[in-house]
Amino acid sequence: MDDAAPLILARHLTKRFGAFTAVDGVDFEVAPGEAFGFLGPNGAGKTSTMRMIGCTSPISDGELTILGMDPRRQGADIRARLGVVPQHDTLDNELTVRENLIIYGRYFGLPRAECQRRADELLEFVQLSDRGKDLVEPLSGGMKRRLTIARSLINEPDVMLLDEPTTGLDPQARHLVWDRLYRLKQRGVTLVLTTHYMDEAEQLCDRLVVMDKAKIVAEGSPRQLIERYSTKEVAEFRFPAGVQETLDGQFDGLGDRIERLPDRVLAYADDGEAVVIAARDRGLHPETVLVRRSTLEDVFLRLTGRSLIE
Amino acid sequence: MQYRRTFRASLFGSFGIPALFLTAMGLGLGGYVDRSADAVLQGVSYLQFLAPGLLASSVMQTGSFEATFPILGGLQWNKIFHAMVATPLRARDVAIGNILWIALRLTLVGSIFALVIVAFGASRSPLIVLAVPVAVLTGLAFATPIMAFTATQRTPDRFAALFRFGTTPLFLFSGTFFPIESLPSFLQPVAWLSPLWHGVAVCRALMLGTIGNEPVLAVIHIGILAAIATVGAVLAVRTIDGRLVKG
């Protein structure tokens, strides 16, 4: 395959379950070596899209090409070159950490000796070498996640599919996972991931699409999306309970745009400090004020009117 | 078929139980029965009568069990079957691999049981060698339809009912412990509906050396078992595929 051709190409990709449409005619492409993200709240259609790419869920409509192959006819050939990290760990609790890797390699038809060699290498890579002989069950959530990532690499995949790779992990464990994924990216592995964490998307993704209600609502790099759909800065105002409801109209004209959330008011402007001063001049007395840079969370709020994590 | 290796861990789980069962029931209970029931069993000792029934039914019970919890585990609990279909393996391979694994395990259980039977002098014929595959087929006639059922379940709640109203009554009333002729006459035809009875009947004929008396009947029995196992396997492949491959 020549370098310019996308590794994954979706045109009007659709997934229906009976009357319910989980993915509604989405278009996207993923280039070789890219880290590509699907950002969206639960139920947006991210996992269904990942399953179709992973060739474990037939597409209902549209076109999907993965590594130049058709998932309808070449599912097994495609899967042989993918590394899948599912949303929930699917490790074999009856086997040791190392055996989990070896057996998984055998599913790809790799010789046993090769599986053993790769297993040791991968345990090293995810910093689990000292746990190789332990059973899976006593491992922490972060360790299991790293083992799942190691397992997905046993066939030296061209593309990794990561469905919410760090959901449910504590901050330290998340950073360790991100670090490993970043190293893989540097080695040229294409990463496709879903997340509902904006910081994860910002950390890992070169480019992402925002999904909401089965559709793609925006596409770009994290930086581009923020520039396009948000301002440089955001001023957050929090008011004492009951006060915010009485402030109708009083924010009008502050900054470029105002978002009123149940617990705070966001004023979008390139100069957040200026907005804070202007608000004070209007006689508004918030309990706390915070000026920060715009994030993907703000992009999502702008595009959908809702927060990412509800 | 490398994926069968996954299940290596449970291989050495249940070796001794069949042997214990035979010892207790065959020798213990048999001691009483033989003193009074010589006429009923037509010169066969109770141990010899019982042994084929226990062989077939213990293989049947192992098959039934292996088609419930371990399968639900792979589909629902640790979800390792989902991990398998993310590789070049297909859902069909996972289903067939599990059926083959159960067949292997049943062969092991049946062979060990047969060895113990021989050690007890409870088989009259060397054809017990053929009784083992018949028992395995009996076990598969249970395992494959139950596996198809398991693949439609999300919790093990209905397994208790399956064992209570399914396998346990069949275990008791399929000629395992007493000839079905001892049942009320209106119940006797019901035995035909029990896959276990077909298995017990053939195993018994083989082990008592009477298979030559009614060879056609034996072929019918085996044909029925093979048909059930085959239909069950087709359904199991279909339901497991439906479960692992989304929509």
Q: What is the pLDDT along chain A (310 residues), one digit of tens a residue?
A: 445 689 999 999 999 999 999 999 999 999 999 999 999 888 899 999 999 999 999 999 999 999 999 999 999 999 999 999 999 999 999 899 999 999 999 999 999 999 999 999 999 999 999 999 999 999 999 999 999 999 999 999 999 999 999 988 999 999 999 999 999 999 999 999 999 888 899 889 999 999 999 999 999 999 999 999 999 999 999 998 888 778 777 888 888 988 888 888 999 999 999 999 999 998 888 999 999 999 888 998 888 877 665 4
Distance (Å, whole) CA A279 – CA A286: 9
Domain ranges within chain B, ordered by starting residue: 48-155+187-247
Say what the pTM is. 0.89
Both tokens assigned to B141:
């006639």
Residue contact B245–A84, C-beta within 8 A: no
CATH topology for A8-221 is Rossmann fold (3.40.50)
CA distance B171 to B194: 9
Q: Using CB atoms, which residue from A56, A60, A104 is nearest to B244?
A: A56
Question: Which residues in chain A are closer than 8 Å to B82, comparing Cβ atoms?
Answer: 56, 86, 90
Of A17, A95, A104, the CB nearest to B247: A17
Return residue ranges of chain A for CATH 3.40.50.300.
Answer: 8-221
Whether the Cβ atoms of residue A234 and residue A267 lie closer than 8 Å to each other: yes
What's the CA gap between A152 and A159, in Å, rounded? 10
Q: Using CA atoms, how far apart are residues B167 and B176, in angstroms rounded to an integer?
A: 12
Residues of B with CB under 8 A from a CB of A: 2-3, 5-6, 9-10, 78-80, 82-90, 244-247
Q: Which residues of B touch A51 (CB under 8 A)?
A: 246
Q: How close is the nearest chain A Cα to the Cα of B101, in Å?
A: 16
Residue B12 falls in which region: left (phi positive, over 0), alpha (psi -120 to 50) or beta? alpha
ipTM over 0.95: no
Listed in order, the ranges of chain A carrying CATH 3.30.70 are: 231-293
Strand partners, A216: A211
User: Cβ B6–A60 below 8 Å, yes or no?
Assistant: no
Q: Give every CB contact of residue B50 below 8 A, 6+ residues apart in sequence.
A: B22, B25, B26, B29, B30, B122, B176, B177
CB contact under 8 A, A91 and B83: yes
Flag if A54 and B83 touch (Cβ within 8 Å). no
Give buried/exposed letters for B179-200 (b at 16+ CB in 10 A, else e). Answer: ebeeeeeeeeeebeebbbbbbb
CATH fold, domain A231-293, is Alpha-Beta Plaits (3.30.70)
Residue type at B213 in one-letter notation:
N
**Exposure of B160 by Cβ count < 10 A (0-12 exposed, 13-18 middle, 19+ buried)?**
exposed
